[in-house]
Structure 1
Amino acid sequence: MTADRTIAIVGNGSVPEGTAVIIDAADLVIRFNDCRSCGAGGQKTDIVAVCNTGRPALAMLGGGQWKTNAAVRRAGQIWCVRDADEFQALRPQLSASHPDLDDFCDDYTDGFRAFAKATGRAFHTVPALAQESVDAALKQFDAGAYVVPSSGMITIAEVLAHWRRPGDRVVLAGFGHAGWEWHPFAAERRYVDTLVTAGYLERVDNVVAAKLGAPYIHARK
């Protein structure tokens, strides 16, 4: 890849009409888990970032459908967003505070690594530092009580810290900042908004999709 890339991070939330052409024109596209964003959110998929602990991970590895998912088959890389050691350290705390999450910290990183190796894909585990940096940043935004940041937020932190090069644009789509009750979504929205304001991220929204179209992501500020 050359300089001045567009990196699209595509969550599994709703996307406005016209977003597909913008995402498919990006140089690097990251999707999550079962890639529900495909369709209205385009088809191109270079990286699938997975929640590699607990029930979501077990469902992806155990049922067979995830492994044959068209987007997963297109991807050249699999990322695991949760650090195994950090989640093992979290287990005693959750046992006391959230006993219903008894399997939340069960780690399936080895299963995703084996799948990547068997299918010729690159494999990457997002380091614990990414979550630690997000936890520290969220303190500024009244995050309140939560279990862990969302996979999307961790991936954003990893891309900005280690994958974004000078001149690259990082575009978000499908981020509704809503879902599981123990992710700090309201605080994450505020944090992302500050990153957008600072110029580290851009959001694909209805105005961009409807009025500017695909050339938007390659236009220079």
Structure 2
Amino acid sequence: MSIALDSLRPERADPRGSIAIVGNAPGIGPVARTIDAAHQVVRFNNAPGFGGRTGSRVTHLALVNRGGQMREWLADPGFLDRPVVRQAEAFILPFPMLPTEANAPEPICWTREALVLLRPLGKPVHLLPEALHDEARRRLARGTKDCPNPSTGFLVSLALLLDRPTDSGEVNIHGFGFAGWPGHPWAAERAWFAEAAAAGRLRLHPPEASDAS
């Protein structure tokens, strides 16, 4: 399965360059310089700490495109003027677009509206496909009959790591607390990241305090 770095890396970026994936859990140490030194810096949603303790670069900003958070952004006339939005080189919408008939009577998918919102910025918007979700669920289910609901952080990290050459630069994970909305399989996601770290695929930097990823 090939999706990830070839389609998500910034234009003209080294496909084997280093990556910093920056979650939103509190307790990230003084690593702004380390994060900003990466070839690719991926952040999520409101990106707390951006412009300060977590650095000032963002090549990709992942914006959750289902649920109430996107609905709030759509109603915010100043959303496009947020520094992290202005400075992002591209955006990632982690969830596939639901058909119109599946998005009623109460809308949960705001993909169409998000694409319209971001269009004036003239920057690429990457929509993660259902095939990636299937692969994420397969890995997190670990051979059981469970159908886990992967977090945005897991989906984006998996997309970036799939088919990534083994001789590539470091992938550093900051600010992933593996806690938050109870519908995500946090224990399974933590285990997957730990195994990937043990295999040398990434370096996991746990926050000093964690309640979100």
Change (3 A) 1:144 1:31: same
Give the 5 Å matches for 1:1-221.
Answer: 1-2=13-14, 4-38=16-50, 39-85=52-98, 103=106, 106-140=108-142, 148-161=149-162, 164-165=164-165, 166-205=167-206
Q: CA RMSD in A?
A: 2.8
Match of 1:214 in 2: none
Change (3 A) 1:142 1:37: farther
Show structure 2 runs of 5+ residues with no match. Answer: 1-12, 209-213
The residue type paired with residue 200 of structure 2 is G
% same residue: 26
CA contact (8 A) 2:98 2:109 kept: no
SS in 2 for 1:41: coil
Deviating 4+ runs (over 4 angstroms): 86-89, 141-146
CA contact (8 A) 1:6 1:169 kept: yes
Show structure 1 runs of 5+ residues with no match. Answer: 93-101, 208-221
Q: Whole-Å Cα distance in 1 between the matches of residues 100 and 43 of structure 2?
A: 22
Normalised by the size of structure 1, how large is the TM-score?
Answer: 0.77
Give, in angstroms, the shift of residue 169 of structure 1: 2.3
Equivalent pairs, count:
194
Give, in angstroms, the shift of residue 115 of structure 1: 2.9
Q: Whole-Å Cα distance in 2 between the matches of residues 87 and 155 of structure 1?
A: 25
CA contact (8 A) 2:137 2:147 kept: no
Q: Whole-Å Cα distance in 1 between the matches of residues 89 and 117 of structure 2?
A: 12
CA contact (8 A) 1:169 1:202 kept: yes
SS in 2 for 1:63: coil
Change (3 A) 1:141 1:152: farther
* C-alpha distance after superposition, 1:3-50 (max 9, x if no partner): 541111111112432211110111111111111141221121111111
